[in-house]
A and B are shown apart, each in its own frame.
Chain A
C-alpha cells in the first residue's frame, strides 16, 4: 500500500501553484493597471490600453470561477 499518492500530490502542488498563485497574480496585474502609479493621465482618466489589460485579467479570473462551477456541476468532485 502506497501511503502517499505522490503522483496526485505533485499534480496538486504544481497546478495548485499555477492556478492558486497565478490567478491572484493576474488579478493583481489588473489592479495595478487600473490604479497603479501613472495609471491616470493628466486629465484624470485611465489610458484605454490599461483598461483593456485590466479587464482581460479580470475576465480570465472570472472565467476560471465559471470553469470551476462547471467542474463542480459536472460531478468532478
Chain B
C-alpha cells in the first residue's frame, strides 16, 4: 500500500546476477503463487458480509470479487516495486531472500486458511522477508523501529479504528431504519452492500496485485531480463491479475465462513455499514500514507457492526483467536522464511532454490490434503456456526466438558441398571397382584357375611 512509482526502483547492488532462466522462472512462479494465496485468502474481506447476509449467492460473490480484483490490477500502474521498504536493509535483499520470504508468506497464508483465520497477506510477506534477512545477515539487517512502526503497531490500531467507525455507522443506521420493515431494509441495503463490497474488492486488486508485480519486476531486473529503469512488462501485469483473480474465484471459503458467520450474526444493514467502513478506512489510510492491513480493517469493521447493533452478540473468543494470530503472523512467517533461507544456502547454488521450491510444493500439497478432511465450500459456507442451539444441548455440552466421567455410561453399569429395573418392575407387579388378591378376598368375605 505504500505506493512507490516505478521510476524509484533501485535494484539492490548486491543482488546476485541471475543468468539461469530456470531460477528466474522459479522466483516468478513463487511470486505468482503468493499472489494466488493472497487472492483467495482475502476474498472474505470484501465478500464475507454479502455472502453471509445472502445479498449475493456465494458463487456470484466470488465471481464479482475476482472480476473486480482483475480490473483493479489494471486500474493503476504505479507499482510498489520495493518490498519491505524501511523494514529491512534493502541491500541485503537478494533473490534467495525474496524466494525464502515468499515461501514464508505462502506457508503462513495456507496455514491460517486451513484454520479459517483471516490474516494479513502483506504482513505474512513482510514476516517471511524479515526472517530470511535475519538468517542471511543477522539482526542488523532488520530495521526494528521500522518493523514496529509500520507493521506491528498498525496491526493493533487497524481493528480498533475499524471497530469504532463501523460501530458508529451501524448504531446510526439501525436507529434511522428501526421502524422500516425488515423486508424493505433487506432489499435496499442489499444494493448498498454490493456497492461497498465491490469497492473493497477493487481496492484490493489495485493494492495487492501490484506487490507481486513489484517482486517479479525486481527479479527480472536482477536477472538482467529487463533494463533497470524498465516499467512493468504487460505479461507481468496480466499474469499477476490472473493469478489473483483465480485465487479469489477459488474462494477462501474457510476464511469467508469465519468472517461472515463466526464473529457476528450479520443482517444486511450491518453488512452495509461494515463494508462501507472497511472501504473508507482502507482508502483513507492509503491516502494518508499510513497503511493499515485490509484484513485487519475488514475484520474490525465486522466486529464493529456487532458492537454497534443493539441485541447483537459478538463472539469475542473467535475474535481473540484472530488477534492472537495477527500478533504471531510476522514471527511465524519469519521462522519459515529463515528456515527456507538456511535450506537454500545449505544446499547451495541454484539447486538450493529448486529444493526450496520443491519443499513449498510438498508443504502446500500436505496442507491441501489436510483441508479435504473437513472441506468448506460454497455449499456449506453459510451453515450455522453453532449447530447446537437448544439449551439442553448446551447443558449437556458443558457437563461433558467439565466432567466427562459423568456423561459416560459403562456397558456393565448399564446392564446392571437394567437388571435392577426389571427386578423392581417384577416386585411392583407382584405387589400389585397381592393387593388385588387381597381386595378380591375381602370382597368375597363381605359378600358372604351379607348373605347370612
Which residues from chain A sit less than 8 Å from chain B, CB to CB? 1-5, 8-9, 11-13, 15-17, 19-25, 27-32, 34-37, 61-62, 65, 68-69, 71-77
Given contacts A16-B284, A27-B189, A27-B192, 13 further A-B contacts (CB under 8 A): A1-B149, A8-B289, A12-B161, A13-B161, A15-B280, A25-B173, A28-B269, A36-B177, A65-B195, A72-B72, A75-B3, A76-B286, A77-B3
Whether B149 and A4, one on each chain, are in contact in the complex, defined by CB atoms closer than 8 angstroms, is yes
Q: Is B225 among interface residues, defined by CB-CB distance under 8 A?
A: no
Whether A77 and B179, one on each chain, are in contact in the complex, defined by CB atoms closer than 8 angstroms, is no
A34 to B176, CA, bound (A): 13
A17 to B168, CA, bound (A): 7
Whether A3 and B145, one on each chain, are in contact in the complex, defined by CB atoms closer than 8 angstroms, is yes
Given contacts A8-B290, A21-B169, A31-B188, contact A73 B272 (CB under 8 A): no
A28, chain B: closest CB distance, angstroms: 4
A sample of 24 cross-chain residue pairs with beta-carbon separation below 8 angstroms, ordered by A number, consists of A3-B149, A3-B153, A5-B149, A11-B284, A12-B292, A16-B164, A20-B169, A20-B279, A21-B165, A23-B280, A24-B170, A24-B192, A25-B169, A25-B176, A28-B176, A34-B184, A35-B185, A36-B177, A37-B179, A65-B196, A68-B279, A71-B287, A72-B206, A77-B286
Whether A3 and B148, one on each chain, are in contact in the complex, defined by CB atoms closer than 8 angstroms, is yes
- In the complex, chain B residues 187-205 whose Cβ is within 8 Å of any chain A Cβ: 188-189, 192, 195-196, 198-199, 202-203
A8 to B161, CA, bound (A): 12
Which residues from chain B sit less than 8 Å from chain A, CB to CB? 1, 3, 5, 72, 75-78, 145-146, 148-149, 153, 157, 161, 164-166, 168-170, 172-173, 176-177, 179-181, 184-185, 188-189, 192, 195-196, 198-199, 202-203, 206-207, 269, 272-273, 276-281, 283-290, 292
Task: Select A35's contact among B184, B203, B289, beta carbons within 8 Å.
Answer: B184
A29, chain B: closest CB distance, angstroms: 6
Whether A16 and B287, one on each chain, are in contact in the complex, defined by CB atoms closer than 8 angstroms, is no
B-side contacts of A37, CB under 8 Å: 179-180
Whether B276 and A20, one on each chain, are in contact in the complex, defined by CB atoms closer than 8 angstroms, is yes
Chain B interface mostly: helix
Given contacts A4-B157, A9-B157, contact A35 B168 (CB under 8 A): no
B106, chain A: closest CB distance, angstroms: 23
Whether A17 and B164, one on each chain, are in contact in the complex, defined by CB atoms closer than 8 angstroms, is yes
Task: Select A61's contact among B5, B181, B195, B289, beta carbons within 8 Å.
Answer: B195
A19 to B157, CA, bound (A): 19
Top 9 closest pairs, chain A to chain B, by CB? A20-B280, A21-B169, A35-B184, A8-B290, A75-B78, A28-B176, A20-B277, A8-B288, A20-B165
Task: Select B206's contact among A4, A32, A77, beta carbons within 8 Å.
Answer: A77
